[in-house]
Amino acid sequence: MRDYTEITERLINLELPIECIGNVHAKENLNWPIHQIHLASSRDTPQSVLITGGVHGDEPAGVEAALQFLERDNTEFLKQFSFTIIPCVNPYGYVHNTRETHDDIDINRSFETDSVAEAAIVKKVLGQTQFSFAIDFHEDYDATGFYLYEGRRDEKYIGPELATAAKAIGPVDPEDPGEDAPNLVEGVYKVATEWGTQGLAPYLLHFHSKHVIISETPTVWQLEQRVALHLTILDTALDIISDPKIN
């Protein structure tokens, strides 16, 4: 079992307003709060970014990457971007190290309904919000290297550049992830329209963000390497899309 209060304490230590966007009522009569944090400078920033982790509870590097992003100095990025961060979408799964929710449902296949509490909470808080970019951090137990999925309404894909930057952290996974996703270059796949909107990233692409990335790290790597991979993908994407000629 992991300790969720450790996450809550790290969020409190940020001394930023933390929003509880909903509580998941799980067995054991416990409530699991889902937190959201906004990060913005006082000036108006042209682009807003959504960062999510822990949709699958047994993929802790995404939660850790979101927390480390919040804990570091983002002064430069805050000149261009505001951020909405939901570090752990599946707190019950995170604590119990399960991919699914307390009643064995994969949140990342649940965004087409409102029957799964975690997905419904996220959908409700998103409201009508539109983001320039969204990234969802995941992990893969079978992979030996990293890979990523990209969805972009204008199809101006930056995934190949992200993969090149991420290779400084570790190798690309040689296996096809087998999600029927078209391959752009080695380790970079398109978010396929056939997926519908059941998953968080395709749901965001359809309703809330013109550009999404799903970053996947191999669980076999050390935690710090996985976190570094997620943050390298994120930082490289922010560097690219902060260029007004490209975004």
Please report, as ranges, the residues that interact with Zn ion according to CB under 5 A.
Answer: 56, 59, 138
Of 98 and 242, which has the nearer Cβ to Zn ion? Answer: 98
Of 123 and 138, which has the nearer Cβ to Zn ion? Answer: 138
Of 39 and 55, which has the nearer Cβ to Zn ion? Answer: 55
For the CB of residue 156, give the shortest distance to Zn ion in the complex, in Å: 26
Q: How far apart are CA 166 and CA 237, in angstroms?
A: 11
For the CB of residue 13, give the shortest distance to Zn ion in the complex, in Å: 27
Pairing of strands 188-190, 183-185: antiparallel
Q: How far apart are CA 134 and CA 191, in angstroms?
A: 13
Contact 36, 201 (CB under 8 A): no
Of 49 and 214, which has the nearer Cβ to Zn ion? Answer: 214
Backbone angles phi, psi at 147, to 5 degrees: -155, 170
Of 138 and 230, which has the nearer Cβ to Zn ion? Answer: 138
Query: Which residue, among 34, 35, 37, has the nearest Cα to 15 in the 3D structure?
Result: 37
For the CB of residue 59, give the shortest distance to Zn ion in the complex, in Å: 5
One-letter amino acid at 221 equals: W
Query: Which residue, among 188, 194, 195, has the nearest Cα to 213 in the 3D structure?
Result: 188
The set of residues, in sequence order, having a beta carbon less than 8 Å from that of 41 and lying 6+ positions away, is 75, 78, 79, 82
For the CB of residue 56, give the shortest distance to Zn ion in the complex, in Å: 4
Of 138 and 226, which has the nearer Cβ to Zn ion? Answer: 138
Q: How far apart are CA 102 and CA 205, in angstroms?
A: 27
For the CB of residue 4, give the shortest distance to Zn ion in the complex, in Å: 18
For the CB of residue 203, give the shortest distance to Zn ion in the complex, in Å: 14
